[in-house]
Chain A
Amino acid sequence: AQSVTQLDSQVPVFEEAPVELRCNYSSSVSVYLFWYVQYPNQGLQLLLKYLSGSTLVESINGFEAEFNKSQTSFHLRKPSVHISDTAEYFCAVSPINTGGFKTIFGAGTRLFVKA
């Protein structure tokens, strides 16, 4: 079975400051790792994903996440946040090749960017 722990339920930060949203996971099989973002009254959008290869992955809007296998972590970072980054962020894992898709989500971290 898999589980995902997002260590902070809320993260307030000032505009243009750096931010890190923490994610740890547990799994007995290999997994793919994802970050999704949810804006108010909308569904989730895929922000970035780690499938294989370089452990540092980037999104088009300046976020990056690093896969650390030894620490089973996949923290999300951005060096300078904008007001528009205010949203809820979900870390997720999908077990590989176990028959079908079953993505497990963390509880979410609400990022609040203040002016």
Chain B
Amino acid sequence: KAGVTQTPRYLIKTRGQQVTLSCSPISGHRSVSWYQQTPGQGLQFLFEYFSETQRNKGNFPGRFSGRQFSNSRSEMNVSTLELGDSALYLCASSDGLARGDYGYTFGSGTRLTVV
């Protein structure tokens, strides 16, 4: 069973640019959550998608957005990049069902550096 695949692994962008990150969850999983990990703030929840709908959202500005496709693959987009957006962005896959165990399988992350 393939794991959670995040692409690309590394990105360097310039302030003001936009970036799109991709996540393919485990086959059969319909929930994809995104987290931002930084040394100072730890893991911060961005949003969760289930069956192409955003179910939960964290406290990030509107520059951070996401979507999910019918095959459960998800993308997140950050527009007008700021230096503070430099972080490891982690995608987490789950079956997304209330009768499930809520446990995540994480991807290896995309390390974004904004210069």
Binding site for B on A (CB under 8 A): 32, 34, 36, 41-46, 49, 51, 90, 94, 96-97, 99-108
Number of A-B residue pairs at CB separation under 8 A: 69
User: Is the contact region of chain B dominated by helix, strand, or loop, or is it mixed?
Assistant: strand
Q: In the complex, what residue of chain B is closest to A106 when comparing beta carbons?
A: B42
Nearest chain A CB to B49 CB, angstrom units: 9
The answer to whether B21 has its CB under 8 Å from any CB of chain A is no
Partner of B104 from A44, A97, A100 at Cβ < 8 Å: A44
Known interface pairs A43-B106, A101-B55, A106-B42. Does A51 touch B31 (Cβ–Cβ under 8 Å)? Answer: no
6 sample A-B contacts, Cβ–Cβ < 8 Å, listed by A number? A44-B104, A45-B106, A96-B102, A101-B50, A103-B102, A105-B43
Tell whether, in the assembled complex, residue A90 and residue B56 are in contact, meaning their CB atoms are under 8 Å apart: no
- In whole Å, how far is A5's beta carbon from the nearest beta carbon of chain B? 11
Contact between A46 and B108 (Cβ–Cβ < 8 Å)? no
